[in-house]
């Protein structure tokens, strides 16, 4: 196996207030190979966006990385200074936010924002900036006349495409995406996802993609990471997890979505709601909502067990692995 492009080790993030410490991400470990598409899924508040911001080194107070490493191309991003990070971010990895309307500057044209981004990283002529800006806009299917447009003059789908174009200005090796399609209608969502996948295959960049939409994961991801209450609940190949999810929470998420390929079946939700991360449940964090909970689930925190190529945080597999020995 080649060296991973990204190696996140035991990464924890807390929101630190005067009175409490809320552990939003708890000892997350994951690797990403060059060109791989990893989908991160879970309910609102499970820590997936915080994890993404921590990987991209975009957290701001009161959120803070409390432990762990984010090794990108052999360099621990957590240890880099702001000026060192500025060289790497956008050039080697870039970020596409949930809402382009918030991420783009409403007072500047798209072209001016592309220019600022390029000038922040290299000395480059006005002609070269114009050529590259037009190129990346064409890549996402937008006419370069829109370099003169302001964000409010574009539709929601075009704004998201413009954000993606900006993320590709330097052809980075990793693009980190935080629910970039969630504000769009289903048709625009599908068209944008298809375009992201085509660009990824054309340029070979890796993607970490956060979503709460299992159908997006099913269609576009090579691997899936299911998060619950700030922790990895299950991580493995998309096909394995969709065909035979191991964690009761993964099964619940899948049961809450219409089947992508299989026969029609009634949808069921997961009872209860995610826990308060300031006071997570003892033992397995999912135990108050788990239909398969056992007595020890209330007291014993499960580690991640390897079952084939999948890793799963559930005590059911401690028993199965013990029985198999």
Site string for ligand SF4, 208-247 (x = CB under 6 A): ---------------------------------------x
Part of the chain binding ligand SF4 (CB under 6 A), chosen from 26-34, 39-47, 116-124, 311-319: 311-319
Residue 253 binds to ligand SF4 (criterion: CB under 6 A): no
Is the Cβ of residue 214 or residue 284 nearer to ligand SF4 in the bound state? 284
Number of residues that bind ligand SF4 (CB under 6 A): 14
Inter-axis angle of helices 186-203 and 156-167, to 10 degrees? 20
Residue 57: CB minimum distance to ligand SF4, A? 32
Residue 318: CB minimum distance to ligand SF4, A? 8
Residue 248 binds to ligand SF4 (criterion: CB under 6 A): yes
- What whole-number distance in Å separates Cα of residue 280 and Cα of residue 176? 28
Is the Cβ of residue 91 or residue 287 nearer to ligand SF4 in the bound state? 287
- What whole-number distance in Å separates Cα of residue 4 and Cα of residue 13? 22
Is the Cβ of residue 7 or residue 43 nearer to ligand SF4 in the bound state? 43
Is the Cβ of residue 46 or residue 137 nearer to ligand SF4 in the bound state? 46
Residue 281: CB minimum distance to ligand SF4, A? 9
Part of the chain binding ligand SF4 (CB under 6 A), chosen from 87-95, 130-138, 163-171, 312-320: 312-320
> Under rule CB under 6 A, which residues in 103-162 are in contact with ligand SF4?
none
Residue 269: CB minimum distance to ligand SF4, A? 16
Is the Cβ of residue 89 or residue 287 nearer to ligand SF4 in the bound state? 287
For 204: left if phi > 0, alpha if psi spans -120 to 50, otherwise beta; the answer is left
Site string for ligand SF4, 274-303 (x = CB under 6 A): ----------x-xx--x-xxx--x----x-
Residue 290: CB minimum distance to ligand SF4, A? 3
- What whole-number distance in Å separates Cα of residue 276 and Cα of residue 265? 32
Residue 321: CB minimum distance to ligand SF4, A? 13
Is the Cβ of residue 159 or residue 247 nearer to ligand SF4 in the bound state? 247
Is the Cβ of residue 111 or residue 248 nearer to ligand SF4 in the bound state? 248
Is the Cβ of residue 198 or residue 319 nearer to ligand SF4 in the bound state? 319
- What whole-number distance in Å separates Cα of residue 265 and Cα of residue 272? 22
The contact set with ligand SF4 (CB under 6 A) reads 247-248, 284, 286-287, 290, 292-294, 297, 302, 314-316
């Amino acid at each position: 196996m080649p060296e991973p492009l990204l190696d996140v080790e035991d990464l924890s993030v807390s929101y630190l207030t005067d009175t409490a410490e809320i552990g939003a991400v708890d000892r997350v470990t994951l690797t990403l190979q060059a060109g791989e598409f990893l989908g991160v899924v879970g309910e609102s508040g499970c820590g997936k966006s915080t994890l993404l911001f921590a990987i991209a080194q975009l957290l701001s107070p009161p959120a803070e990385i409390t432990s762990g490493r984010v090794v990108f191309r052999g360099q621990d991003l957590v240890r880099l200074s702001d000026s060192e990070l500025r060289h790497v971010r956008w050039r080697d990895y870039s970020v596409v936010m949930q809402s382009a309307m918030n991420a783009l500057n409403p007072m500047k044209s798209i072209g001016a924002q592309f220019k600022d981004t390029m000038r922040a990283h290299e000395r480059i002529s006005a002609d070269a900036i114009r050529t590259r800006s037009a190129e990346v806009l064409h890549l996402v299917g937008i006419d370069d006349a829109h370099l003169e447009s302001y964000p409010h003059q574009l539709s929601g789908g075009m704004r998201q495409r413009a954000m993606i174009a900006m993320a590709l200005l330097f052809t980075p090796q990793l693009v980190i995406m935080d629910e970039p399609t969630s504000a769009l209608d289903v048709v625009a969502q599908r068209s944008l996802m298809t375009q992201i996948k085509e660009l990824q295959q054309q340029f070979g960049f890796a993607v970490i993609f956060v979503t709460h939409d299992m159908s997006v994961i099913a269609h576009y991801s090579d691997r899936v990471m299911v998060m619950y209450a700030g922790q990895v609940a299950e991580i493995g190949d998309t096909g394995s997890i969709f065909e035979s999810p191991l964690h009761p929470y993964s099964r619940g998420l899948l049961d809450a979505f219409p089947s992508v390929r299989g026969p029609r079946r009634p949808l069921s939700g997961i009872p209860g709601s995610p826990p308060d991360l300031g006071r997570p449940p003892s033992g397995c964090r999912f135990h108050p909502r788990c239909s398969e909970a056992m007595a020890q689930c209330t007291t014993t925190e499960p580690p991640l067990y390897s079952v084939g190529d999948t890793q799963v945080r559930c005590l059911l597999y401690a028993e199965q692995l013990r029985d198999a020995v």
